[in-house]
Structure 1
């Protein structure tokens, strides 16, 4: 489950995305993937980029992970419509077993300092992403996304590629702006390069659990961003929700784009594909779609923007 809301992407620009620079069969020849420029894996707590007082880095310890979980609780349960169980209510943290072995990307604000229990001032965590590499997932029972989509079939069909799962993304409401989103993506891009990732995937959420009410958005994604056969993944059978609910000529594209969550639009602008079928997540009050982003298919404009060596916002 992954949610970020706030109008950050214009429908006009996103419509242009559907005549993409690169699609299946294309190459990255004009933007070589220079993984040799960044050899070492991302380290715990390492700074990956800065814009003004904001810094993007990996969590340094479990205390910071707990703060990220509190941020997720504030967004998913307090602001959105997720339903908390007794433990979640008591701790006021959005937590699950995956947190223990995932990497946690953080955006912190050095202009918003808070005292910890020892009285030391520390910058506030204002944004987060949870990242799970394939080799780690394999040692702990698989990816979170596998509970909703049959991603194992895609992994098995690409034995030479390295997958990573992105999830639990959220940003504190006052920070939902271009600067924070760009820092998060700068951090992810640096992570992808350092760990030599070939494919990013994960669930993205549309608020609401009534597929008929979301027919325009789901149908738009089906007709305009559905993954090609070689990258297509289907929702698990017992949770499968049909996305093709309206014919293409019956969709108001502008309205559908306007309604889509900014995070989904952001993924599409980067060059993401959408899986086959959606899944209703009643705990979080959302309908989830699968995002698939092969690194070789990323929009060249964004690769160039963040830097082929992730240097745009490097400190």
Structure 2
């Protein structure tokens, strides 16, 4: 990625980020917001409710009938994943009432015990994992935040949690699907082309969409898909991945159920920018409980 692009993706550091001091599952705090791993079935249920509100009510996803009736986004993966939460302690009520954002985390050994990673259904991630037998992977998925909390601060807090969790479990690579809203790639031609030309994973990290599902991301010449205009079309989550040093797989996949166009993000820990290692802490000690 060019220095110009990196300059446009520079982070801002919250002044009130602090060390978490509560229970073992707490991974970080900024102001009244805290990130931690879900501890109860009620908290996981609340996270599934937030996912439903964002994916179905806001983004027009169409889930299986049982999920639509329950007004919860759930599937078999929820039972084997850890659920990273962002909670706001300013909200009155029970702990599950304070949840404002969530991520789903699947560790390598757990995935292998249960037939692979969720992303395998869209991308050739099994080949990527097989090429790196010495590395432990972690899949990130189902990221969503309530509208009033969609700020850089919340995204940074989610990443504090991911980073501390990854180090705790000796993870070498974080990866997972990230989405553009809608199922017409032409609506995101500049942004997809920008990713293709500037952030594509190559060499040992190359990974492609499954051939029967692949949609070309190379929709515009490199010179037409560059600069601030292209970055404006990227969802905040994908911008956050790029800031950290992530790469993107070859080809996108249309997910009609979730009304999205998906790309695969690949982030080796060794590729994380020094500025972020310094900010989050090379040992995550600044944010870990």
Name the TM-score, length of structure 2 as normaliser.
0.90
Q: Do residues 235 (structure 1) and 209 (structure 2) align?
A: yes
Structure 1 residue runs of 5 or longer lacking an equivalent are 1-12, 21-43, 116-120
Deviation at 1:123, TM superposition (A): 5.0
Describe how 1:175-186 pairs up with structure 2 within 5 A.
Answer: 175-186=149-160
Q: Which position in structure 1 is the counterpart of 2:18?
A: none
Inter-CA distance 113–205: structure 2 relative to 1 (3 Å threshold): same
In the alignment, the residues of structure 2 paired with residue 182 and residue 125 of structure 1 have an alpha-carbon distance, to the nearest angstrom, of 16
Deviation at 1:273, TM superposition (A): 0.3
Q: Which position in structure 2 is the counterpart of 1:161?
A: 135
User: Which residue, out of 47, 52, 60, partners 1:73?
Assistant: 52
In the alignment, the residues of structure 2 paired with residue 137 and residue 149 of structure 1 have an alpha-carbon distance, to the nearest angstrom, of 15
Deviation at 1:114, TM superposition (A): 2.3
Deviation at 1:278, TM superposition (A): 0.5
* SS state at 2:185 partner: coil
Query: Which of the pair has the greater relative contact order for Cα pairs under 8 Å at 6+ separation?
Result: 1
In the alignment, the residues of structure 1 paired with residue 116 and residue 229 of structure 2 have an alpha-carbon distance, to the nearest angstrom, of 37
Q: Which position in structure 2 is the counterpart of 1:279?
A: 253
Q: Which position in structure 2 is the counterpart of 1:134?
A: 108
Indicate if the aligned counterparts of 2:102 and 2:145 stay in contact, CA closer than 8 A: yes
Inter-CA distance 264–54: structure 2 relative to 1 (3 Å threshold): same
Q: Do residues 15 (structure 1) and 5 (structure 2) align?
A: yes
Deviation at 1:52, TM superposition (A): 2.2
Deviation at 1:305, TM superposition (A): 0.4
In the alignment, the residues of structure 2 paired with residue 18 and residue 133 of structure 1 have an alpha-carbon distance, to the nearest angstrom, of 32
Q: Which position in structure 2 is the counterpart of 1:62?
A: 41
Inter-CA distance 271–252: structure 2 relative to 1 (3 Å threshold): closer
Indicate if the aligned counterparts of 1:113 and 1:122 stay in contact, CA closer than 8 A: no
Q: Which position in structure 1 is the counterpart of 2:183?
A: 209
Q: Which position in structure 2 is the counterpart of 1:302?
A: 276
In the alignment, the residues of structure 1 paired with residue 9 and residue 154 of structure 2 have an alpha-carbon distance, to the nearest angstrom, of 27
- Cα offsets for 1:142-182 (capped at 9, x unmatched): 10000000011111110000000001011111111232222
Structure 2 residue runs of 5 or longer lacking an equivalent are 11-22
Q: Which position in structure 1 is the counterpart of 2:238?
A: 264
In the alignment, the residues of structure 2 paired with residue 66 and residue 301 of structure 1 have an alpha-carbon distance, to the nearest angstrom, of 36
User: Which residue, out of 178, 190, 193, partners 2:167?
Assistant: 193
Inter-CA distance 139–309: structure 2 relative to 1 (3 Å threshold): same
Deviation at 1:92, TM superposition (A): 0.6
In the alignment, the residues of structure 2 paired with residue 97 and residue 14 of structure 1 have an alpha-carbon distance, to the nearest angstrom, of 43
- Cα offsets for 1:38-60 (capped at 9, x unmatched): xxxxxx96111222222111100
In the alignment, the residues of structure 2 paired with residue 14 and residue 165 of structure 1 have an alpha-carbon distance, to the nearest angstrom, of 29
Deviation at 1:314, TM superposition (A): 4.1
Q: Which position in structure 2 is the counterpart of 1:110?
A: 89
Deviation at 1:215, TM superposition (A): 1.5
Inter-CA distance 17–286: structure 2 relative to 1 (3 Å threshold): farther
In the alignment, the residues of structure 1 paired with residue 144 and residue 189 of structure 2 have an alpha-carbon distance, to the nearest angstrom, of 25
Deviation at 1:312, TM superposition (A): 3.0
Name the TM-score, length of structure 1 as normaliser.
0.83
In the alignment, the residues of structure 2 paired with residue 128 and residue 152 of structure 1 have an alpha-carbon distance, to the nearest angstrom, of 25
* SS state at 1:202 partner: strand
Q: Which position in structure 2 is the counterpart of 1:5?
A: none
The CA RMSD measured in Å over matched residues stands at 2.0
